[in-house]
């Protein structure tokens, strides 16, 4: 049973084991099978190795893409991986989950020739996987500086920051509220994007640099406070992500069958037996981002008969990429745009349907209801309309400046508090991307190192 959601077994339509045993493994297999050496060689040969490569500019971590592809083309797979890891220590995961179709591959000059772009993501995975399988590491830890840094959050931003600081010789203690490290890479992405326990293998790879200790099950604001961290450590990095989930604002959101997509995905990611997960017959997902697509596709793969994703605006405004929207459709998810939920319809405190208003842009350019409504049958309704930062984590501690309910940082990821940096989803302007969080952590680490040297 999904303990973190409102599934109470009231509806007979919500049940586990909808599929034959072998179907689960097939449905949740790797969505992008890796390239073999022959395929990688052919694909690398398609690259023009541009001198002023637009793909490199499009990469948030500034990986030298033409260089690593040329290294693959010449048989130097280890060198290619080293090139990637120098800029992005989580290059293995980013090769799996990055929306390359809207970043590096969209910028590929082959697109302008009416061809398919070079498969940069798969080439990145080819080299980084081979590297990690050989137990190699691209960094050697520098001489111990005697400096101590606290990192809050063992997700992409926190781990990236911790790794770079450790490589520079600093001692890092990472605090994370969950019992396992990895953040959204471990708990928040679709299982078919990261298979074979890759998220934890990548955590082990990062920790192999040495100088990093992780304390799991320790939450800021509950077990530790920011004032104490600032007193006990030479610097602090905050990368705890977004702890809350936005509500629909409808009456009855606590009824059975209405739940957060993030919670269900986390449960699915940690499940050793997918056939044990309860799923409804008629599933409705509210939202238009990657999480909305992930939960819609995965409930369909778990055996839901009808899955509908509803978004209040048009396809161009959806945060889910065109590829993700296409993926949802080919997996059998129906997508309805220009509609917003207005009422949950229940029976015996369990959701039975959800009512929507069609929407449009009015003369002032604002979203407005048209007055026309429709109902969708639903025994499960998932909220996937974004997360929010919980600023109560600061409790009685001095808090950094906030904007749009997130922490304000400068270009070096410094907050308004002396000795405190931040990155990832919890900062104002933070993107919901692993690669962007990795860059935040790396930039902050280099700034922290300069600060420590200046105050030595």
What band does 4 get if pLDDT is binned at 50, 70 and 90?
A: very low
Residue at a domain's end among 383, 410, 428: 383
Question: What is the Cα–Cα distance from 333 to 329, expressed in whole angstroms?
Answer: 5
Q: Are residues 252 and 365 in the same domain?
A: yes
- Could you tell me if residue 7 is inside a domain? no
Judgement on whether residues 374 and 250 belong to the same structural domain of the protein: yes
Mean pLDDT of 54-62: 96
Q: Each residue of 235-271: pLDDT tens digit?
A: 999 999 998 889 999 999 999 999 999 999 999 999 9
- Is the predicted pLDDT of residue 10 greater than 60, yes or no? no
Residue 234 pLDDT greater than 90, yes or no: yes
Q: How far apart are CA 199 and CA 210, in angstroms?
A: 18
pLDDT band at 391 (very low <50, low <70, confident <90, very high): confident
Q: Is residue 296 part of a domain?
A: yes
In terms of domains, do 187 and 287 share one?
Answer: no
Which residue is listed with tokens 């697109």?
111
Residues of the chain with pLDDT > 70: what percent? 97
Q: By residue range, what is the domain housing residue 326?
A: 21-29+246-383
Instruction: Give me the pLDDT at residue 333, please.
Output: 98
Residues 445 and 371 in one domain: no
Check residue 33 and report its DSSP letter.
P
Confidence of residue 456 (pLDDT cuts 50, 70, 90): confident
Does the residue 2 lie in any domain? no
Confidence of residue 9 (pLDDT cuts 50, 70, 90): very low
pLDDT digits (tens, 9 = 90+) for 71-115: 999 999 999 999 999 999 999 999 999 999 999 999 999 987 778
Q: Does 398 share its domain with 373? A: no
Give Cα 161 to chain centroid, integer Å: 17
Average pLDDT over residues 116-121: 96
pLDDT digits 0-9 by tens, 282-330: 999 999 999 999 999 999 999 999 999 999 999 999 999 999 999 999 9
- Of 9-18, 92-101, 225-234, the one with minimum mean pLDDT is 9-18
For the chain, the maximum distance between any two Cα atoms, rounded to a whole number of angstroms, is 68
Residue 329: what pLDDT?
Answer: 97
Domain identity same for 85 and 155:
no
Rounded to an integer, the average pLDDT of 170-188 is 96
pLDDT band at 368 (very low <50, low <70, confident <90, very high): very high
CATH number at residue 166: 3.50.50.60
Q: Is residue 299 left, alpha or beta, with left meaning phi > 0 and alpha meaning psi from -120 to 50?
A: alpha
- Is pLDDT larger for residue 61 or for residue 115? 61
Averaged confidence pLDDT in the chain: 94
**Residue 3 pLDDT class (50, 70, 90 cuts):** very low
Statement to judge: residues 55 and 82 lie in one domain: yes
Residue 256 and residue 359 in one domain: yes
Q: What percent of the chain has pLDDT over 90?
A: 89
What is the per-residue pLDDT for 455?
A: 87
Which of 104, 133, 162 is a domain's end point?
133
Whether residue 171 is found in the same domain as residue 276: no
- Alpha carbon distance 172, 204 (integer Å): 15
DSSP at 139: -
In this structure, the answer to whether residues 378 and 405 fall within a common structural domain is no
Q: Are residues 256 and 378 in the same domain?
A: yes
Looking at residue 6, its pLDDT comes to 59
Instruction: Give the count of domains, the chain.
Output: 3
Which residues make Cβ contacts (< 8 Å) with residue 330, sequence separation at least 6? none
Residues 177 and 279 in one domain: no
Please report the pLDDT score of residue 7 as a whole number: 55
């Amino acid at each position: 049973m999904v303990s973190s959601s409102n599934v109470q077994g009231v509806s007979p339509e919500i049940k586990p084991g909808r599929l034959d045993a072998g179907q689960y493994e097939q449905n949740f297999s790797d969505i992008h099978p890796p390239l073999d050496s022959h395929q990688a060689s052919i694909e690398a040969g398609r690259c023009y190795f541009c001198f002023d490569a637009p793909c490199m500019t499009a990469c948030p971590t500034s990986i030298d893409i033409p260089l690593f592809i040329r290294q693959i083309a010449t048989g130097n797979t280890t060198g290619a991986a080293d090139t990637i890891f120098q800029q992005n220590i989580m290059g293995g995961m980013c090769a799996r989950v990055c929306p390359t179709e809207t970043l590096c591959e969209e910028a590929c000059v082959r697109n302008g020739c009416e061809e398919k772009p070079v498969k940069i993501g798969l080439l990145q995975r080819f080299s980084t996987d081979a590297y990690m399988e050989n137990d190699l590491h691209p960094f050697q830890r520098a001489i111990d500086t005697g400096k101590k840094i606290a990192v809050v959050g063992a997700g992409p931003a926190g781990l990236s920051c911790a790794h770079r600081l450790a490589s520079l010789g600093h001692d890092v203690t990472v605090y994370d509220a969950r019992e396992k490290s990895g953040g959204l890479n471990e708990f928040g992405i679709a299982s078919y994007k990261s298979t074979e326990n890759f998220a934890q293998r990548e955590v082990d790879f990062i920790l192999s640099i040495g100088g990093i200790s992780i304390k799991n099950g320790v939450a800021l604001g509950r077990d530790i406070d920011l004032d104490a961290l600032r007193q006990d450590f030479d610097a602090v990095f905050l990368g705890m992500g977004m702890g809350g989930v936005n509500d629909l604002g409808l009456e009855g959101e606590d009824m059975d069958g209405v739940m957060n997509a993030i919670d269900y995905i986390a449960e699915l990611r940690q499940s050793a037996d997918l056939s044990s997960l309860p799923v409804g017959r008629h599933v409705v997902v509210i939202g238009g981002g990657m999480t909305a697509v992930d939960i819609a596709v995965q409930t369909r793969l778990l055996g839901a008969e009808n899955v509908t994703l509803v978004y209040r605006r048009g396809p161009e405004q959806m945060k889910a990429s065109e590829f993700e929207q296409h993926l949802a459709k080919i997996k059998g998810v129906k997508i309805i745009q220009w509609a917003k939920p207005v009422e949950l319809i229940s029976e015996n405190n369990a959701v039975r349907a959800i009512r929507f208003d069609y929407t449009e842009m009015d003369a002032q350019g604002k979203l407005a209801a048209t007055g026309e409504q429709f109902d969708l049958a639903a025994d499960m309704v998932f909220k996937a309309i974004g997360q929010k930062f919980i600023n109560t984590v600061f409790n009685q501690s001095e808090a950094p400046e906030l904007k749009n309910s997130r922490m304000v940082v400068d270009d070096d990821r410094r907050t308004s508090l002396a000795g405190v940096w931040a990155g990832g989803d919890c900062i104002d302007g933070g993107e919901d991307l692993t690669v962007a969080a990795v860059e935040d952590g790396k930039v902050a680490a280099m700034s922290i190192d300069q600060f420590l040297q200046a105050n030595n």
